[in-house]
Structure 1
């Protein structure tokens, strides 16, 4: 496996739970009492959990296996992971005294692990099923494979052309609606409420332009959002108008910018198609910088930020969970993953697809950082290539969190000390660079608990912080303290 995996934290384990009931049940099985023969090694954790029957439940978790975490338990639960797998992982996360390292998995666990990893290798194309090591797949002769491939390619091209026509029709309708909005004035947007925006977004979904629909829904939340909302709404309408114009003139744009426009509208490639191109795959040691979940409609969207040690480039992985289920992708923050990635096309695109993994995550390193001015210049460069970019990932080095004045609240009135400031969240907070005499405001939406944790980590001096730098400020996600990654 190339080394032993790094232990996960309890927070990372709980992120895998399919629902709240599983989280509560898993917590009850986290103490060592019901567990026997618990151990870990070779990228897996195993143990037997005493249940209501005479035989204990046999539980094994493959921490990676080349395709992400996998779970097997002899219990009858249909949830993945079940409460026993969650309890075992929480027990393992507790430290060396609870789940000992060393030795191989027992026979009942080893067989399942071997089968799962062989399937992952075949799926990745490293060894076709039934072929000897080093063999490569050959096309079958006399089966009409070439003709079938040509027919599928022609059908795919026809579907793509039909979708482009629908998007163009939707874009034209959107342009007309934006023009009507501006002619009638923005003042009435607050009184009309959210319904017109949702109706417009639904039309873009019908036109198969989910990117346009998402931006319209964001517009609907701006009216009535506070002082200065008409200016913010006008600016976002202008960006949406620019995107629609870019789609209509995509053939005239430079190729990278045209790819960016298509992506922003909602046209994306399948991950399998990206990874099929061998030259597009980038293998490196990828440091897991942060993992963040957000609710977007009925989906839970997980964003995992990475940094390549050799390529010195950031990457963003997206994973989705529907129906209250957590996304499958889970990587320990601060660990290093030896893996292949393939970047999606677009100007300065950071979104990537995760390909073959070469072992479980290992202990990581502290990433190189930049100053405040360099972070702002990097974001400005991003906007030149992608005017619709909300932010840019960056690692700030040598900064101190500065809370707002004890005598001033977010609205400028007299405050009442620390407890009053803590309730304001990000309002008034800054990240100040000690050697540049410059600072970045903390982005709205940053939780007060994260800010005070960051302040505590900086008690002995400036810290290194990873986050996203954008027009709303800097959103901190992870800090490094004594070489150890601390999710915020």
Structure 2
């Protein structure tokens, strides 16, 4: 496998102090898509490997073959690199920054460290505002000719400023500058980044949840232990609306989002868990059940940490609404978190409809586009008839069904 012909795309990333910090490549396999492999050579936690192949061995044969090619001087330094490489390296840098700040020696030192980080993040976000202004002043016409170095310099500066979340958002900008409609898409992302920088500067002048959302997007995280110790506690019977499992090959990570709704409070809760690619993230919740329990909420008001054991019982289908109700619910949530990219909605008597693409329509005929061209599982459960459907709504992607209740009231995960 360590042959040049097996790696039509490969390259090395230069280290700031000289030499090579990482190598990456796309290896031809038996399938239509190549395996994406990378090796991080100068990480604080030692050499790290990633690959999109299903092997559980670390490093896998693809990473070893890439390493062998590099030792034979067959992997040259390149300024450009795919988005998945930039995102993976940015994510590793962010985790290393968090790891270095996770073990304070004493309260006074912890307070001093926090002040230092706040000052560093503030300086980084000020630089981001100036950089964004430069992008708009220069115009977007030359963007397709920019190399990855144009974006990486700002992303790396934000990592240095301990703003890993903002760095990841900048690292994704090259992906927005491709395909049809890229100027509008890129301008929207630049605008959201500017809004994030302004929101961080506003600080306590913002509402509590908006401020918490901005800090989380910048990369200032709150640990689960802190949430359990001082977070808002809400006891209710929580109906499990659905779950969605997503994979980020560039970060070697899988995530599971489970959405719940309080029967008494109407509060939306998000249980978020992670695992490495190839493993399933844990979750204590099952679609189609009610969980009577107390949750501790993160400062953003949505993500939760269970505060103890709960009682689980089979539940009826959740109360749903129209498409207009769904959009109103998203707008209300986005008013507190303008960077929100997905939100759970429940539509009653919803039926699949097909025109130029697939839609989900309510009894009034109002419809939202589905984010898939093949909703066969939804069609198989409903037979095309109206049903209660829970879904995630993302304005840029469409509606992603996550659960449906059949005519017998049984929940089926999608």
Q: Which among 293, 298, 301 is matched to residue 245 of structure 2?
A: 293
Q: How does 1:219-368 map to 2 (within 5 A)?
A: 219-224=173-178, 226-277=179-230, 280-296=232-248, 297-322=251-276, 324-346=278-300, 349-359=301-311, 361-368=312-319
Shift in Å, 1:324: 4.6
Unaligned 5+ runs, structure 1 = 1-18, 23-150, 406-427
- Structure 2: gaps spanning 5 or more residues: 1-52, 57-104
d(CA) in 2 for partners of 1:172, 1:369: 44
Q: Could you tell me how far 1:20 is from its partner in structure 2?
A: 6.0
- Equivalent residue for 2:403? 478
Where does structure 1 differ by over 4 angstroms across 4 or more consecutive aligned residues?
Answer: 19-22
Partner of 1:183: 137
- Could you tell me how far 1:21 is from its partner in structure 2? 7.5
* Cross-structure match for 1:202: 156
Paired with 1:187 and 1:431, the residues of 2 have a C-alpha distance of 37
Query: In the alignment, which residue of structure 2 is the partner of 1:106?
Result: none
CA positional deviation for 1:195? 4.4
Bigger RCO (CA 8 Å, 6+ sep)? 1
5 Å matches for 1:425-464? 428-434=357-363, 436-443=364-371, 446=372, 448=374, 451-459=375-383, 461-464=385-388
8 Å Cα contact 1:194/1:221 also seen in 2: no
C-alpha displacement of 1:323: 6.5
- Select the residue among 105, 109, 126 that pairs with 1:155: 109
Equivalent-residue separation in structure 2 for 1:204 and 1:461 (angstroms):
50
- CA drift of 1:193 comes to 4.2
**Structure 1 residues 485 and 196, CA gap change in structure 2 (3 angstroms):** farther
Report if aligned partners of 2:209, 2:337 keep a CA contact under 8 Å in 1. Answer: no
Structure 1 residue 389: deviation in Å?
A: 1.3
| 1:275-319 CA distance string (max 9 Å, x none) | 224x82222232222222222312222211122222222211111
Deviation at 1:330, TM superposition (A): 4.9
Question: Match of 1:41?
Answer: none
Q: Which residue pairs with 2:64 in the alignment? A: none
Which digits, 9 at most, give the CA deviation of each residue in 1:324-353, with x for residues without a partner?
54323353222333322111113xx31111
What is the aligned length? 311
Taking only aligned residues, the RMSD between alpha carbons, in angstroms, comes to 2.5
SS at match of 2:360: strand
Secondary structure, aligned partner of 1:288 = strand
Alpha carbons of structure 1 residues 325 and 455: separation in structure 2 relative to 1, 3 Å: closer
Residue by residue, what CA displacement relative to the aligned partner does 1:81-120 show, whole Å, maximum 9, x if unpaired? xxxxxxxxxxxxxxxxxxxxxxxxxxxxxxxxxxxxxxxx
Partner of residue 404, structure 1:
355
Written as runs of structure 1 = structure 2, the 5 A alignment for 1:14-25 is: none
Counterpart secondary structure, 2:136: helix
Cα distance, 1:323–1:457 mapped onto 2, change above 3 Å: closer
Give distance in 1, aligned partners of 2:283 and 2:161. Answer: 30
1:181 Cα deviation after fit? 1.9
Residue 462 and residue 344 in structure 1: after superposition, are their counterparts in 2 closer, same or farther (change >3 A)? same
Aligned residue for 2:180, secondary structure, equals: coil
The TM-score with structure 2 as length reference comes to 0.69
Task: Go from structure 1 to structure 2 and tell me whether the alpha carbon gap of 1:169 and 1:213 turns closer, same or farther (over 3 Å shift).
Answer: same
Contact 1:198 1:220 in 2 (8 A): no
Decide which structure has the larger Cα Rg and report it: 1
Taking structure 1 as the reference length, what is the TM-score of the superposition? Answer: 0.59
Give the 3 Å change call, closer, same or farther, for CA 20–236 of structure 1 in structure 2: closer
- Distance, in Å, in 1 between the alignment partners of 2:378 and 2:191 is 36
